Each structure stands twice: as C-alpha cells, then as structure tokens.
C-alpha cells in the first residue's frame, strides 16, 4: 500500500531516551498494516548487530547497513512504502537530500538520531532533517546525576566528562556515555 503523500518523521533526543525503541514501534505498526518497510543504518554502528537496528533495551528490527546515504537509493526496493533510518547523525550530509527525495516519491520516512553531540551542539544533519520533517518527537532520558529529565548526552573518559576537543564520533554505549540534564552536563574546555 503506497501512501498518497510522503512524509518525514524525526525521533530525536539524547542517548538512552528511547529513540530506537520508538523507531521500531513505528516500523512494527507499519508492518502490521501490511506496508512494505525497509530500514537502513550506518555501517559504523555495529554495537549490537550488523544487520539490525537495536535499542539499548533489547528491541531489534532487521536493517541494511550502508556506508554512505546515497546507497539507500540503490538498495531501495520498488514496492517500499516506509523507510526507517536509525542513527541519522552519523550519515554524510547527502542524507538530507535522500530523505527529501524519498518523501517526495510518496514514501513515509522515519528518522531517528541524536539531535546534539556530547558537547551539546547540533549533531550532523539532524537539524536539517528536523526542519524538513512534518513531525518531530524529542524524547528525554533520565539524568544519571539527579533523576530529572535528561536532554544531553554526557561522554565519559575514565569516569570523567570528556573535554570539548575530543573527537565528535566515538560509537559506544553505557561504558562511554550517560544521559544528563542541562545542569549536570559538563564539557570542560582546555
């Protein structure tokens, strides 16, 4: 079943906020509705499984790993009506054009990713994807310091906050990152 109009939905937030769980929930609903679903993820993300998107809570969904966003065009099957894209912040800048093209073809595109990096700054193409979206859902985790809503991702190095000049991309989970609120998010400068 093809949609009459394509659309872009973005699910964003800090690490441990449930972005991938929400993406999977939407994909499962589309599958139940007998829509043809394809899911893509950056090949760099091999934390849980190479050919699955996986949440920290253990939910999974089959996915196609790609090195560059242009590969999504090449691997898209003709009858696909819903495309899921996980960890969108790790894709090259062309992801924005790819997502727009898919939506303009009548495909429902559901994108999940971190809206900010460990510094608390906009991450990759996520701001552009959010501006293209018909629907944006920002999820929150729980601050590991005070228990309030967390909207930031704290990177840790030997148990201490990572310095501002550290590399932006280091793929990891709870051993390197934790959720923090604005008050407890720390990014020391040199």
* Residue 123: how many other CB atoms lie within 10 Å: 21
Give CA–CA dist 33/179, Å, rounded: 34
Task: List, in order, residues 6 or more apart from 97 with CB less than 8 Å away.
Answer: none
| Strand pairing category for 149-150 and 64-66 | unpaired
Asked about 97 being catalytic, the answer comes back as no
Q: Is 118 within 8 Å of 160 (Cβ atoms)?
A: no
- For residue 79 the two structure tokens come to 């009858």
Catalytic residue among 9, 87, 132, 178: 87
- For residue 173 the two structure tokens come to 């989970």
DSSP string, 64-107: EEESSTHHHHHH--TT--EEEE-SGGGS-TTHHHHHHHHHHTT-
| Active site residue ranges | 87
């Amino acid at each position: 079943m093809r949609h009459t109009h394509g659309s872009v939905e973005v699910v964003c937030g800090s690490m441990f906020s449930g972005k991938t769980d929400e993406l999977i929930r939407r994909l499962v609903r589309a599958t139940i509705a007998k829509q043809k679903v394809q899911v893509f993820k950056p090949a760099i993300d091999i934390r849980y499984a190479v050919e699955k998107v996986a949440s920290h809570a253990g939910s999974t969904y089959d996915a196609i790993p790609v090195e560059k966003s242009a590969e999504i065009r090449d691997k898209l099957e003709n009858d696909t009506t819903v495309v899921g894209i996980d960890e969108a912040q790790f894709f090259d800048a062309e992801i924005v054009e790819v997502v727009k093209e898919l939506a303009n073809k009548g495909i429902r595109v559901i994108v999940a990713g971190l809206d900010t990096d460990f510094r608390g700054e906009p991450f990759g193409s996520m701001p552009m994807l959010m501006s293209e979206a018909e629907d944006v859902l920002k999820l929150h985790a729980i601050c590991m310091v005070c228990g309030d809503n967390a909207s930031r991702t704290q990177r840790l190095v030997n148990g201490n906050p990572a310095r501002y000049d550290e590399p932006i991309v280091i793929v990891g989970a709870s051993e390197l990152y934790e959720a923090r609120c604005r008050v407890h998010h720390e990014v020391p400068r040199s």
